[in-house]
Structure 1
Amino acid sequence: MPKTVSRAAAVAVLVLAVAGCERQPVAAPAAGPVVTAIGDATSIPPPPAEREPVTQPAPVEVAVTFPQTGSGQWMFTPGSDEVAGARGRLMRYRIAMETDIDGVGPAEFAARIRAILGDPRGWTAGGQWRLQHVGPDEPADFTIYLATPSSRNKLCGGTPDGYTSCRNGSNVVLNVARWANAVPNYGASLEVYRQYMVTHETGHRLGRGHELCPGPGRPAPVMEQQTLGLHGCVPNPWPFPDGRAYAGPPGEYDDPIPAGTS
């Protein structure tokens, strides 16, 4: 995708630190300026012209490509009026995508994040949380980044592995290498893995720790580190997979992190 975005209006270049929320500090991007991806997330498409209906082909999944070391420049998407969840504490989140990533547009990425976090099997199902995607100039409780492996290391802190995703303070960092490629031998589709990584890292921001597989053949708790190993469980991206809370014993395995960043 191009390194800047221009649609109905010119690209707006913002200061590095956007306005923070009084209730929670909001982490700044890893480095570089922030640009806004123009486009209304809540717009309704105009009605079709009065003519014969046209059958559209199914969308084709485009390969996501990225450099190992990104620019540290971020495209923030406009927010949405929609609030996921009927009751509970409202948590607002921003969505940012590093400009070097191709094969997924910022609007498409934001729509996928909203769909995952708004799924009735997700964190809002228990009535403890409501979630809303807000724009870059609005107060927020956390920011979801789609980051190259090097920017993942800057945002996550700690030991730089370039492989996993993380939550660090108010950063929910999705490693684009995992978004593009999932992990070997996961046993489910790329879409299921993406649902897992978003829900797992957001779960950390909501105060949840790691969990263990409750038994062979059972669904993995979403807070199990499924990226590193399933330990007899089967993939599961949801905390409420059948409308009821599902979890495993607290703890984590001593799984090695694979070498490399692909």
Structure 2
Amino acid sequence: MDQPSSESTRSENSKFTLEICIDNWDSAKAAIDGGANRLEVCSALGLGGLTPTRGLLIKIRDYLSQKPKTVHVAAMIRSRPGDFVYSSDEIDLMKMEIETLHDVCDSFVFGCLKVTANGEVTLEENHCRILVTACGSKPATFHRAIDVCSNPEVTCVDIISLGFKRILTSGGAATALKGIEMIKSLQASYGDKITIMVGSGVNASNVPQIYEATKVLDYHSSCSSEHVSSIDSICGQIFPSGVSKWQITDIEKVIAMKKIIQEIEKQN
């Protein structure tokens, strides 16, 4: 795509990065206009994020071509909801998805796990290697699959050795605040070798606390609010949640989070 494919997303002379995860056009536009440095583009964020459509990535690319600033576009590669233990056929499909989207994004996001004979959850190196190779020169981020691994620190070493450039993590907990000690440890031990990005429950109110404890520079959030359908009264009677109500990135939340990050940077 027209945007640079470098993993670096430090813009406006900032050492911090704000990544917004989105799964629809309105959210993408709000994130870009609100000041995001990166987009993690998915479909079905309500299912944890699946591979996005090519059409959405093209529309984002075309919108960014009219903007003076650079926004890095990362595409989620996840062929189904559920866990991160994939069959060979699923890896073939995910490889095809990377190849199909390769010219309309700057990087890719995925993670593959396995369960060992003694019941430990760890990296599936062969599957990860296939997908990293398919990315070619485009960087790969290992997503929050690391948070269900039995030993995140050992997994981090393996992720680095496979050539991933970034890890998204909540520190092995449901939220980043609950996993703050693990995030701190990962940043201290490996932050000079790979970018550690904090996600899950991250917002403008807790970024200062997370930064103070971990010194992480990269933050991931949806900055979303619930959107209610104009035909909610009808949809709600017939369809499950997700048809009458869904999440959309709130530009005011993006602006607020960007402002907090800029304030932290000025103080440090």
Q: Which band: TM-score by shorter chain?
A: under 0.3
Query: As a proportion of its length, which structure holds more strand?
Result: 2
Whose helix proportion is higher, 1 or 2? 2
* TM-score computed with the length of structure 1 as normaliser: 0.26
